[in-house]
Amino acid sequence: MDRLTNTIRPYAWGSTTAIPALLGAEPTGEPQAEMWMGAHPGAPSRLDRAAGGTTLSAVIAADPEGELGAAAVAKFGPALPFLLKILAAGAPLSLQVHPDLAQARAGFEDEERRGVPIDAGHRNYKDANHKPELICALTPFDGLCGFRPPREAADLLEGLGVDSLKPYVDLLRAHPEEAALREVLTAVLTADREEMARTVTETAAAAERLGGPYAPYAGLVHDYPGDPGVIAAMLLNHVRLQPGEAMFLGAGIPHAYLDGLGVELMANSDNVLRCGLTPKHVDVPELLKVVVFEPSAPGVLRPEGGAEEVYETPIDEFRLSRFVLAPGGAPHTLPDAAPQILLCTAGAPTAGELTLAPGESVFVPAGEKVELSGSGTVFRATLVL
């Protein structure tokens, strides 16, 4: 078992205070958006196995079966298939979707064949993997997830009283659901930018004036003035997670995180196609291939089980669970068939011989027995064999 040293990513939307508060550190004044725990090549965790330290990705590459176990390598290949993060949103993230596995492989191969540099601003596929993800709230956490039923979206837009939204309202009411959602999202993202900027300004002013169900959308224009994503966001369900609640996001489901601190677990990928709320590249034709144009109620997940509370999801690349350890409680011996990362978010629990502070994490190779004890909250990220 190895204590991890993790990279904090300073994305502009990150909170300046949430991650420092968790770590018990002084804020730097700069945004601290995500802390990555895993072996993703973009920011692999470091550990102290060699003189001067090394990365978790290097350790796994040197002995995949020894670190991950033969069963995990046979099922997922010689790489850790998940990435664990602490995510701290101080401003809305981009409105986005993720491809399924077949789309990711085809898109990655196409851009490789065309020689698109991996770090190019217009590159869509950074790897050949899909990116299902799970977000679990540590504080009240606001987000957008999945399309509303078109008629409900039409009622919401109509209630703003903005004349330039009327064509979208009519489209949402005049077609079958899939066609309505596809046509409106396409129209919003391809509209004349000057006309759309005026529509967004009027929409935001109306949302701020009306409040209530419009309140989550009112502030978007302050961060992204004129961005068509402000209108696209109103096609989606607003979700507020309470601490301990979670939300699973599968392929093709449009979503955005708005505000809050959470634990995020995902397949080991960085493939994102953006719909708006961003200054970055938006590839509308490619996006429309990936989006699933179906209304979907955002299912709020609550942990199930006894000592180990599990957040059930339909995929095998990752599995998130939580231990809430009480003082004087019995220790818990963790299964050892698969690799795992343990993350402390409260208290001072003990994993084996290591005591963890909030924000600290450890990597446990497959086959190594670990006992959790003490007092605090520990999230366990592993995979399903």
The tens digit of pLDDT for each residue in 129-180 reads 999 999 999 999 999 999 999 999 999 999 999 999 999 999 999 889 999 9
- Rounded CA gap, 17 and 299, in Å? 29
Query: What is the band of 239 on the pLDDT scale with cuts at 50, 70, 90?
Result: very high
At residue 113, φ and ψ (nearest 5 deg) are -65, -35
CA 319, 323, 324: angle at the middle one, nearest 5?
A: 150
Question: Residue 292's CB: how many other CB atoms inside 10 A?
Answer: 16
Q: Which two tokens stand for residue 223?
A: 């961060």
The annotated binding site is made up of 96, 98, 133, 255
How many percent of the chain have pLDDT more than 90? 88
Collapsing DSSP to helix, strand or coil, 78 comes out as coil
pLDDT per position as a tens digit, 262-274:
999 999 888 999 9
Mean model confidence pLDDT for the chain: 94
Query: What is the band of 223 on the pLDDT scale with cuts at 50, 70, 90?
Result: confident
CA 32 vs. chain centroid, Å, equals: 15
Query: What is the band of 380 on the pLDDT scale with cuts at 50, 70, 90?
Result: very high
What is residue 314's predicted lDDT score, i.e. its pLDDT?
Answer: 94
What average pLDDT does this structure show over 342-368?
97
How many percent of the chain have pLDDT more than 70? 100
Classified by CATH at the fold level, domain 314-382 comes out as Jelly Rolls (2.60.120)
What is residue 163's predicted lDDT score, i.e. its pLDDT?
Answer: 97
- Rounded CA gap, 334 and 355, in Å? 16
The catalytically annotated residue of 46, 274, 319, 380 is 274
Collapsing DSSP to helix, strand or coil, 60 comes out as helix
Per-residue exposure over 300-320, b if at least 16 CB sit within 10 Å of its own CB, e if not: ebebeeeebbebebebebbbb
Classified by CATH at the fold level, domain 2-144+240-282+292-301 comes out as Jelly Rolls (2.60.120)
Per the annotation, the verdict on 274 as an active-site residue is yes
- Adjacency order of strands within the sheet including 332-333: 332-333, 371-373, 350-351, 354-355
Phi-psi region of 321 (alpha: psi -120 to 50; beta: other; left: phi over 0): beta
* DSSP per-residue letters across 175-211: S-HHHHHHHHHHHHHHS-HHHHHHHHHHHHHHHHHH-
What is residue 298's predicted lDDT score, i.e. its pLDDT?
Answer: 86
What is residue 150's predicted lDDT score, i.e. its pLDDT?
Answer: 96
CB 145 within 8 A of CB 239: yes
Per-residue exposure over 126-142, b if at least 16 CB sit within 10 Å of its own CB, e if not: bbbbbbbbbbbbbbebb
Query: What is the band of 221 on the pLDDT scale with cuts at 50, 70, 90?
Result: confident
The annotated binding site for Zn(2+) is made up of 96, 98, 133, 255
Nearest partner of 10 among 35, 46, 39, judged by Cα: 35
Q: Which helix (DSSP H) or strand (DSSP E) does residue 364 occupy?
A: strand 361-364
pLDDT for 24 beyond 80? yes
* DSSP per-residue letters across 17-35: SHHHHHHT----SS-B-EE
Which amino acid does the sequence have at 303? P
- Rounded CA gap, 168 and 352, in Å? 58
